[in-house]
Chains A and B, each alone.
Chain A
Amino acid sequence: MKRVAVIGGGHNALVAAALMAKAGLKPLVLERRDVVGGAAVTEEFHPGFKVSAVAHTAGPLRASLVEELGLEGHGLRMMEPEPRLFAPLPDGRSVRLWGSPERSAGDIHRLSPRDAERYPEFHRTLTGLAGLLGRALSLTPPDVDRPGGGDLLSFAGLGLALRRLPRRDAHGLLRWGPMAVADFAGEWFETDVLRAVVCARGIWGAFAGPWSAGTTANLLLQAAAYGGNGAGSAVMVRGGLGALTQALAEAARALGAEVRTGATVQRIAVRDGRAAGVVLEGGEEIPARAVVSGTDPQRTFLRLLDPALLDPDDLQRFRNYRQQGMASKVNLALSALPAFGAVKGEDPASLLGGRIHIGAGVDDLERAYDDAKYGGISRRPYLDVTIPSLSDPSLAPAGRHVMSIHVQYTPYRLRQGDWRTRRDEVADAALATLEEYAPGLRGLVLARQVLTPLDLEETYGLTGGHPFHGEHSLDQLFATRPLLGWARYRATIPGLYLCGAGTHPGGGVTGGPGANAAREVVKDLR
């Protein structure tokens, strides 16, 4: 029996387990909590109010997985809200981005005819690049030391595709990757809020501001996952993201995987230089042919593995791997739908169903980052807000709503005080900022939940509180994610694999790392 122990029951681990089971292996998923899903879970945080506790939009899940694992048969319903994104301004103006670039352009026209003219071209360019980059997302990064024939073929294919792109786009791709997203946005648009909306994709989940070089790579990565639509994308899940991971768990079980909750892995057992299984807290030993870790690289290699088994240089590099969280979640139970000043004479439900971007200009985002750079909580944070109860009323009692707020920046390491005492400041800063856009919001709050980077670490197992298992910076992407020489999902210890967001293609609820890792494990074990 080819049993594979899978550490962690997050979406990537579940994807890997389902695919390994499908290929005839016997995966056993070991989840520490009572519920699978990792950071993609739906939780009742106040009686009758449920919310996607951590991640609140799907990455989106790689389309082929939905089909391959029959997820719709297990209850998964993904929705793309219209408008995808609503970016209000305190003065009542707003940007709305829709599925259709023409419709978005039509709305942008009120702010800037020039930007309206540029928008469809922006959309087209990113969609073109996404086609190319999307192919790279499903590849195993090449072996730097011994590039094999298969690698060379797939990369030769990518190289050809790059050369087939319109010259302008190919040039763009090379230039944009290392650029600051503020420069990228500035190349396209003149309206500050539209620039900020574009920038938000680049700083999302990054300990970096819009003027930090390399943030455009983060935007391109997401554009690739979404198949284009670089700024205005949003995928929601009916029932919250927990419904997605429940469907994944169901699919995995149906394919023959076993899923155990309440099973905390204490260490990875290594015998004769090979990963031989795992040991649970309480002492239970689970032997396995291979161990696949869905947890982040630091937890896997610095905590679960005996450090003596790693090369001291590698150990040092994993210690230096940048995995410092920068975001918090604030979840609100609301007595009614908030009234945004920028919603005038329209049905609010028709505008607020997607992502609501709070960050009026590039400077606002940068200043929010400045605070965090020196170890403080952003006084006026960047917020990515959703009101999932609009598209899925089952999440809140009738007439009530839940609001899910991604708050950036809140550094894992505070210069003053600690997260146990400063938790409320996050919600206060988020609410004070939101009040400028939706006056009266505070009065609607029935209950609030704050998840700081420390909570993300302690409750959800994200070491350092980093939502993506490590920064999406140029030195930690593709063939260097998590480290150069470690990007092919295999550890230096035979039989030990990584399948989480700390591997290519990185964070976001895409299932990409899990799927790529499963392919490599199956290749080795079959």
Chain B
Amino acid sequence: MAARYDAIIIGGGHNGLVTAAYLARAGKKVLVLERRHVLGGAAVTEEVFPGFQFSVCSYVVSLLRPEIIRELDLPRHGLEILPLDGTFTPMPNGDHLWRMNDHARTRREIYRHSPVDAEAYDEYSKAMADMARFVKPILSMVPPDPFGYDVAGMGKLLGMARRFQALPRAAQHNLVQLMTMSAVDLLDQWFETDVLKATMSASGIIGTFQGVRSPGTAYVLLHHYMGEIDGAFRSWGFSRGGTGAISNAIAGAARQAGVEIRTEAKVARIVVKAGQAAGVALESGEEIPAAAVASSVDPHLTFLKLVEPGVLDGDFLTEVRRYKLRGSSGKVNLALDGLPDFTCLPGLGAHLRGAISVSPGVEYMERAYDDAKYGDFSRHPYLDVVIPSLTDPSVAPPGKHVLSCFVQYAPYKLREGTWDEKREAFGDTVVNTLAEYAPNLKGLIIDRQVLTPLDLEREFGLGEGNIFQGELSLEQLFFLRPVPGWARYRTPVKSLYMCGSATHPGGGIMGAPGRLSALEMLKDWKRRVLR
């Protein structure tokens, strides 16, 4: 028998590592168990082809909480964020839209498409910044339980109501709309340029099984808008060395605080004794006892597979089953011999250093969703493309490049055929779509990796391939995430906790769920619920 740990963390993704680091810094003896040979979960850098380092899944960062960067001193452990310069949207008519990180330059670019929209853009940016400022504190808040007798939580709800009341009417109105409307309905009120609306609405659907016209997507737009690096709103970036470097920095901080990390240690089940989590059993048969277990994997895996049947009551399990994972996206990673040349803006300019968004029109986006609704991948998908080797040459051999395409939609459940049969067809569709705008692309490809939602599940443990461990839809947010009554990181099993993206405030390389969960666990130690 191994030594008894205070806490075992299931899964070595960024959230699991954050939880571990915070617990260890408070003096707890912590063990992290990662199934794969490499840490990071979906925030991982791998040498997929010799010499080519890919941020295999998650590829950009903006939401990582500043308090985590500060408290864990991540820059000292190697974290370095390089700015991603704007979003470039090629258009089929030979024009393009290039939004930069600089408001004035973006405004001039929008003006070229529509003077009215340029003016609206000023107001819109201000309104969104106000909204983000209002919503931001919620990201650092443990959701209150409206059903329990949680006085402090009720106080928080009341406080939020007061803050809402204190807002000017225009801001109140915007907030109501943001929380309920579709991204396109919202944007329609501000802008007239189709490509501008399309490319902006794209951030409302990333990682959801919704179209740009589906109500609720305006919130996801805000979720992405809230991204901040060093406190500056709305700037996305690459991590030097890929997103895996973020996980490694967190792991470094965790190790320094005394966390023990084991890779290739697959948890087979959570050991429950007398209604209380008492440790875990590995697939190898090894049992490791612990006072507490925190699972950073999704709730389906945690409660339907890792906890033995009979431990949890039927109502809770029903709610867990209803929790929607529903992956909707895939990833195509290309090793390139050179840089793609876009017909609408030839040359190797700065537009290649930002995100390249294939979102030429609102209808294009919506039709991409229609295909997925009926169980197939989009024939003309939305793509979010980055070429990190331009900003961080260390990730590719000299003169070569890595290009990664985030692809939507790719439904986990296909109506016809299997992903194993359709993987290459899917990869071809993605390459063809991008090549429509950059015809030289096909000749540059040295190698390609196609990740379907099924691959995201198999390789990275993301249930149904959902990159956020569950849809960011209103009924799965805040005190309803992942299931009503269990949004406070605790579970019906005593001393079993959740600390992944399936808990508030959700997915993205944010770390907030991991941190909040650790803080709640520490509270339970203080209250002597945990010993």
CA distance A174 to B146 in the complex (A): 10
Query: Is B172 on the interface with A (CB-CB < 8 A)?
Result: yes
Query: Is A145 on the interface with B (CB-CB < 8 A)?
Result: yes
Report A-chain residues with C-beta under 8 Å of the C-beta of B276.
Answer: none
A178 touches B180 (CB 8 A): yes
A187 touches B322 (CB 8 A): yes
Nearest-Cβ distance from residue A159 to partner chain B, whole angstroms? 9
Interface SS, B side: helix
Nearest-Cβ distance from residue B449 to partner chain A, whole angstroms? 31
Nearest-Cβ distance from residue A243 to partner chain B, whole angstroms? 37
Given A178-B474, A473-B180, A474-B180, decide whether A171 and B319 contact each other with a Cβ distance below 8 A.
yes
A484 touches B176 (CB 8 A): yes
Query: Is B214 on the interface with A (CB-CB < 8 A)?
Result: yes
Query: Is A179 on the interface with B (CB-CB < 8 A)?
Result: yes
- A374 to chain B: closest residue by CB: B363
Query: Is A422 on the interface with B (CB-CB < 8 A)?
Result: no
Q: Per-residue CB proximity of A337-359 to B under 8 Å, as 1/0? A: 00000000000000000000000
Query: Is B210 on the interface with A (CB-CB < 8 A)?
Result: yes
CA distance A180 to B373 in the complex (A): 13
Interface SS, A side: helix
Interface size class for chain A? 35 or more
A214 touches B180 (CB 8 A): yes
Report B-chain residues with C-beta under 8 Å of the C-beta of A473.
Answer: 180-181, 215
Given A170-B147, A212-B214, decide whether A183 and B324 contact each other with a Cβ distance below 8 A.
yes
A167 touches B147 (CB 8 A): yes
Nearest-Cβ distance from residue B157 to partner chain A, whole angstroms? 11
A178 touches B473 (CB 8 A): yes
Report B-chain residues with C-beta under 8 Å of the C-beta of A177.
Answer: 474-475
Report B-chain residues with C-beta under 8 Å of the C-beta of A67.
Answer: none
Q: Which of B306-336 contact A (CB under 8 A)?
A: 315, 319, 322, 324
Report A-chain residues with C-beta under 8 Å of the C-beta of B179.
Answer: 474-475
Query: Is A80 on the interface with B (CB-CB < 8 A)?
Result: no
- A314 to chain B: closest residue by CB: B169
Q: Which of A37-89 contact B (CB under 8 A)?
A: none
CA distance A473 to B216 in the complex (A): 11
A178 touches B484 (CB 8 A): no
B173 touches A179 (CB 8 A): no
B474 touches A211 (CB 8 A): no
- B181 to chain A: closest residue by CB: A475
Query: Is A156 on the interface with B (CB-CB < 8 A)?
Result: no
Query: Is A313 on the interface with B (CB-CB < 8 A)?
Result: yes
Given A167-B485, A179-B475, decide whether A208 and B374 contact each other with a Cβ distance below 8 A.
no
- A211 to chain B: closest residue by CB: B373
Report A-chain residues with C-beta under 8 Å of the C-beta of B319.
Answer: 171
Given A176-B475, A212-B215, decide whether A370 and B370 contact each other with a Cβ distance below 8 A.
yes
- B189 to chain A: closest residue by CB: A320
Q: Which of B355-376 contact A (CB under 8 A)?
A: 363, 366, 370, 373-374
A171 touches B214 (CB 8 A): no
Query: Is B516 on the interface with A (CB-CB < 8 A)?
Result: no
A366 touches B373 (CB 8 A): yes
Q: Which of A469-525 contact B (CB under 8 A)?
A: 473-475, 480, 483-485
Report A-chain residues with C-beta under 8 Å of the C-beta of B177.
Answer: 475
Query: Which one of A176, A214, A483 contacts B216 once the chains associate, using CB atoms below 8 Å?
Result: A214
B172 touches A175 (CB 8 A): no
Nearest-Cβ distance from residue B208 to partner chain A, whole angstroms? 10
Report B-chain residues with C-beta under 8 Å of the C-beta of A168.
Answer: 315
Report B-chain residues with C-beta under 8 Å of the C-beta of A114.
Answer: none
CA distance A208 to B215 in the complex (A): 9
Query: Is B125 on the interface with A (CB-CB < 8 A)?
Result: no
CA distance A183 to B326 in the complex (A): 12
Query: Is B165 on the interface with A (CB-CB < 8 A)?
Result: yes
- A145 to chain B: closest residue by CB: B165
Query: Is A322 on the interface with B (CB-CB < 8 A)?
Result: yes
Given A177-B475, A213-B215, A483-B173, decide whether A322 and B374 contact each other with a Cβ distance below 8 A.
no
Query: Is A96 on the interface with B (CB-CB < 8 A)?
Result: no
Query: Is B213 on the interface with A (CB-CB < 8 A)?
Result: yes
Q: Which of A366-414 contact B (CB under 8 A)?
A: 366, 370, 373-374
CA distance A167 to B480 in the complex (A): 13
CA distance A211 to B473 in the complex (A): 13
B165 touches A178 (CB 8 A): no
Given A179-B473, A475-B180, decide whether A174 and B480 contact each other with a Cβ distance below 8 A.
yes
B172 touches A484 (CB 8 A): yes
Report B-chain residues with C-beta under 8 Å of the C-beta of A303.
Answer: none
CA distance A420 to B519 in the complex (A): 65
Nearest-Cβ distance from residue A87 to partner chain B, whole angstroms? 22
Q: Per-residue CB proximity of A159-191 to B under 8 Å, as 1/0? A: 000010001101100111111100100010000
Report A-chain residues with C-beta under 8 Å of the C-beta of B483.
Answer: 171
Given A175-B480, A175-B484, A177-B475, decide whether A322 and B185 contact each other with a Cβ distance below 8 A.
yes
A171 touches B213 (CB 8 A): no
Q: Which of A128-181 contact B (CB under 8 A)?
A: 144-145, 163, 167-168, 170-171, 174-180
CA distance A174 to B180 in the complex (A): 14
Nearest-Cβ distance from residue A313 to partner chain B, whole angstroms? 6
Nearest-Cβ distance from residue A170 to partner chain B, whole angstroms? 6
CA distance A484 to B180 in the complex (A): 13
A144 touches B185 (CB 8 A): no
CA distance A5 to B435 in the complex (A): 65
Report B-chain residues with C-beta under 8 Å of the C-beta of A115.
Answer: none
Query: Is A93 on the interface with B (CB-CB < 8 A)?
Result: no
Report B-chain residues with C-beta under 8 Å of the C-beta of A320.
Answer: 188-189
Q: Which of B183-234 contact A (CB under 8 A)?
A: 185, 188-189, 210, 213-216
Between-chain CB contacts (< 8 Å), 20 pairs: A163-B147, A171-B319, A171-B484, A174-B146, A174-B475, A178-B216, A179-B475, A183-B324, A211-B214, A212-B215, A214-B215, A317-B173, A320-B188, A373-B366, A374-B363, A473-B215, A475-B180, A484-B172, A485-B169, A485-B173
9 nearest interchain CB pairs? Answer: A178-B474, A171-B484, A474-B180, A475-B180, A213-B216, A214-B215, A175-B475, A213-B215, A320-B189
16 more CB-based (< 8 A) A-B contacts, given A212-B213, A214-B216: A144-B165, A170-B484, A171-B147, A171-B319, A171-B483, A180-B214, A213-B216, A320-B189, A322-B185, A374-B363, A374-B366, A473-B180, A474-B180, A475-B177, A480-B176, A485-B172
